[in-house]
């Protein structure tokens, strides 16, 4: 059930890119964008450069940043999560997202749209802070990658559901967009109802003083005939050790002893955002409209991309616990970099230079294919592994605080990136893809040198991985 929390994040991301290029939506809320889009004299790269339109998209992420910090209560040693548990955080997140979906579906002005988006962002922030950690804490060590990456699989399912919905609702004049944003209530209901029927994690129960319930839950998860004594003792030991230093989880992250956790906890969400795939995924219908596809073909292109992402995500979940995390991150990073350099070259040479503001059909198709390959590379590497690595690198005493910090950084960067992407596309033109390609080169080198391999290592002994690393051992204690 925790993995299905990815549905709300995926659906919301998927539906937004499609809705923001629907003429029925633009004519009601952003008529100036619609009139500018039809202006033949306007720069081909600048047709969707409107700050209120991007505020509709990006407001969700600033709300998600705030709620993920609230969910973990970082400044006070993650007390909210410790007090109510991860299950309650999922329940609150589902309820907030559901409320936001209803407001968006009934919106009559831009203010209602942004309020609804922010409520959805609060819900996503709560669930994204808790769900990957929930999966990581309950999964067997040898399959933890597959279990945790299932969150991303549901993100992709959500995006696919949204893009297919957009494809059909785009036919409905004047109010089709309401169906698209309103159907977000379905995954909201699924999360809210599902959270009522799941137990909390053993680590969270021990941390909140319920060891007997924790043992019963662990036995239920592992199976009635499985000996859980050693695993349960390890959980109790690390939780007891964490409780001896109950205050100041966030402050500890900035101490030398936790330097390695801080660096990775900041670097991974920063690099993830600067793959360029967040904005490409969110704005892919807008991007396809920019290079010359009509509305239906633009949304269909997004459906194809999402299917490619789904195939890659499923493949990744099967192989990441065999190949390891580093190998996939390096291969995926190189694949995305080559694709984005190629997209930049095609757009530099052929976009807006053939007696119009669009691109010749064969080159536009080439861009679509390159974006598909780029999304496949992303789906097999950074997309699922961001959640996997962040959920497993932190020790239990700073796990909620560290996860909230990483999630909040990601949300804040998503907010900035989505807010300025159409302006960047307008200003930098094709070079915006070279900007992301440079980041991909940097992150691939970083992963190769500084990310320790964590596949198959139990969370309770994860410190030993850092103690054996050629560089981080100077900070870590085994």
Mean pLDDT of 52-72: 75
Please tell me the predicted confidence (pLDDT) of residue 334.
97
Please tell me the predicted confidence (pLDDT) of residue 295.
65
Q: Which residues contact 106 (CB under 8 A, 6 or more apart)?
A: 112, 178
Split at pLDDT 50, 70, 90, the class of 75 is very low
- Look at residues 315, 300, 370 and name the one whose alpha carbon lies nearest to residue 337: 370
Q: Which of 51-55, 78-82, 253-257 has the highest mean pLDDT?
A: 253-257
Mean pLDDT of 62-82: 60
Residue 78 pLDDT > 50: no
What count of other Cβ atoms lies within 10 Å of the Cβ of residue 38? 10
Residue 49 pLDDT > 70: no
Mean pLDDT of 33-39: 63
Give the domain range for residue 234: 2-474
Please tell me the predicted confidence (pLDDT) of residue 76.
41
Q: Which of 56-65, 78-87, 330-339, 394-403 has the highest mean pLDDT?
A: 330-339
CATH of the domain at 234: 1.20.1250.20
CA gap 52, 102 in Å, rounded: 21
Higher pLDDT, 239 or 109: 109
Quote the longest CA-to-CA distance of the chain. Answer: 74
Mean pLDDT of 308-315: 90
Q: What are 176's two structure tokens?
A: 């089709």
* Under 8 Å between Cβ of 211 and 205: yes
Dihedral sign for Cα atoms in the order 75, 81, 86, 91? negative
Mean pLDDT (the chain, rounded): 82
3-state helix, strand, coil in the chain (%, to 5): 80, 0, 20
Q: Which of 75-84, 116-125, 454-463 has the highest mean pLDDT?
A: 116-125
Please tell me the predicted confidence (pLDDT) of residue 40.
44
Please tell me the predicted confidence (pLDDT) of residue 194.
86
Please tell me the predicted confidence (pLDDT) of residue 253.
83
Split at pLDDT 50, 70, 90, the class of 432 is confident
**Tokens 């990815």 sit on residue:** 6
Please tell me the predicted confidence (pLDDT) of residue 82.
53
Q: How many domains does the chain have?
A: 1
* Under 8 Å between Cβ of 459 and 393: no
- Look at residues 458, 454, 318, 330 and name the one whose alpha carbon lies nearest to residue 388: 454
Please tell me the predicted confidence (pLDDT) of residue 63.
84
């Amino acid at each position: 059930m925790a993995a299905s929390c990815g549905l709300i994040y995926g659906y919301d991301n998927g539906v937004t890119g499609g809705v923001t290029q629907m003429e029925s939506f633009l004519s009601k809320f952003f008529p100036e964008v619609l009139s500018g889009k039809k202006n033949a004299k306007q720069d081909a790269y600048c047709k969707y450069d409107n700050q209120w339109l991007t505020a509709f998209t990006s407001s969700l992420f600033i709300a998600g940043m705030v709620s993920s910090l609230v969910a973990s209560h970082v400044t006070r040693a993650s007390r909210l999560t410790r007090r109510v548990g991860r299950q309650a955080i999922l329940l609150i997140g589902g309820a907030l997202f559901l409320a936001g979906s209803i407001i968006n579906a009934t919106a009559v002005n831009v203010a209602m749209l942004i309020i609804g988006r922010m409520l959805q962002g609060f819900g996503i922030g709560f669930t994204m802070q808790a769900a990957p950690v929930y999966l990581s804490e309950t999964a067997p060590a040898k399959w933890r990658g597959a279990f945790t990456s299932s969150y991303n699989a549901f993100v992709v399912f959500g995006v696919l559901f949204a893009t297919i919905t957009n494809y059909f609702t785009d036919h409905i004049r004047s109010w089709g967009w309401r169906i698209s944003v309103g159907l977000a209530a379905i995954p909201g209901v699924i999360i809210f109802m599902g959270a009522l029927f799941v137990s909390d994690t053993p680590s969270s129960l021990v941390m909140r003083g319920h060891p007997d319930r924790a043992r019963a839950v662990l036995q239920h998860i592992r199976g009635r005939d499985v000996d859980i004594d050693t695993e349960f003792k390890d959980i109790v030991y690390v939780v007891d050790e964490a409780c001896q230093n109950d205050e100041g989880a966030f402050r500890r992250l900035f101490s030398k002893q936790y330097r390695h956790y801080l660096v990775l906890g900041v670097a991974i969400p920063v690099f993830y955002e600067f793959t360029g795939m967040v904005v490409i995924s969110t704005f892919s219908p807008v991007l396809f409209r920019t290079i010359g596809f009509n509305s239906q073909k633009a949304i269909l292109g997004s459906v194809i991309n999402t299917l490619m992402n789904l195939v890659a995500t499923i493949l990744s979940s099967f192989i990441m616990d065999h190949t390891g995390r580093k190998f996939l991150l390096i291969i995926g990073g190189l694949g995305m970099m080559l694709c984005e350099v190629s997209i930049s070259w095609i757009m530099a040479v052929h976009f807006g230079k053939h007696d119009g503001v669009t691109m010749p059909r064969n080159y536009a198709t080439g861009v679509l294919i390159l974006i598909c390959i780029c999304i496949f590379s992303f789906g097999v590497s950074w997309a699922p592994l961001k959640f996997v690595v962040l959920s497993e690198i932190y020790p239990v005493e700073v796990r909620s605080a560290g996860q909230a910090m990483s999630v909040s950084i990601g949300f804040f960067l998503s907010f900035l990136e989505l807010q300025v992407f159409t302006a960047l596309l307008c200003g930098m033109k094709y070079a915006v893809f070279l900007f992301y390609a440079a980041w991909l080169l940097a992150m691939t080198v970083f992963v190769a040198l500084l990310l320790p391999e964590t596949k198959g290592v139990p969370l309770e002994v994860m410190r030993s991985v850092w103690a054996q690393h050629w560089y981080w051992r100077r900070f870590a204690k085994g």
